[in-house]
Amino acid sequence: MRPLSHKRRTVKRGRMKHERKAQKLKTRQKLLAAARELAEENADVSVTAAAQRAGISKATAYRYFSDPAVLASEAVLDIAVRDAESLLDGVENLRERVHLVTDYYRDFGREREPAFRKFLGQLMADWTPDTPNRQRGARRIPALRLALEPARDRMPAGRLEDLVMALAGCGTGFEQHIALNDVCGLDRAAADRIARAVVDAILDFYLPAEALS
């Protein structure tokens, strides 16, 4: 058997990394769905109960949510999120697709600011130096992957995933709103202008020009 070229090994590693992240997101969504079901039944929303309902081990569930209050809060917020497929339906321009997603998640947090501040406060209050790294903000990541789907065949998988992470971490979300509002003191119009400029700069850095045309 011929050894894999460096390029093929890089592509394979990028694909495997993407698959692992996708599986983690799937597990998280199953736990959130189970927590919503429990809440709708007026049952106690605990990590153990959600794990049992989702068919996931308790040990695995606690790696995602150690505090039932955080699980319940995120499950409630997750209900209101618009489906990414409907958000992007009929939009072909790549830059426009990405801006639709980043604008949506920035506005989503602002429109539910009290709930998001409470949710983040719970996360920060529970944090310790030994706290395992738990992924949140899971909704924006698959939405950004879908928005960037037209570019998938135009760039290496690892670089595309770096672009998704750059946009998810710096280009949208309630954390960005806190920085622009609380730290920078910007009004909504100025914050939107800066936020969209950040997204454009990230896209211009990562994507080949022909992908954005």
- Tens digit of pLDDT for each residue in 137-156? 568 999 999 999 999 988 89
Least confident of 102-111, 113-122, 168-177, 200-209: 113-122
Determine the pLDDT at residue 2: 54
Q: How far apart are CA 189 and CA 186, in angstroms?
A: 8
Determine the pLDDT at residue 11: 58
More confident residue, 202 or 120: 202
How confident is residue 32, by pLDDT bands cut at 50, 70 and 90? Answer: confident
Instruction: Decide if 202 contacts 171 (C-beta within 8 A).
Output: yes
**Helical H segments across the chain, by residue range:** 6-40, 47-54, 58-64, 68-79, 84-88, 94-111, 113-126, 140-147, 157-170, 174-178, 188-206, 209-212
For the chain, the domains span: 14-79, 82-213
- Mean pLDDT in the chain? 85
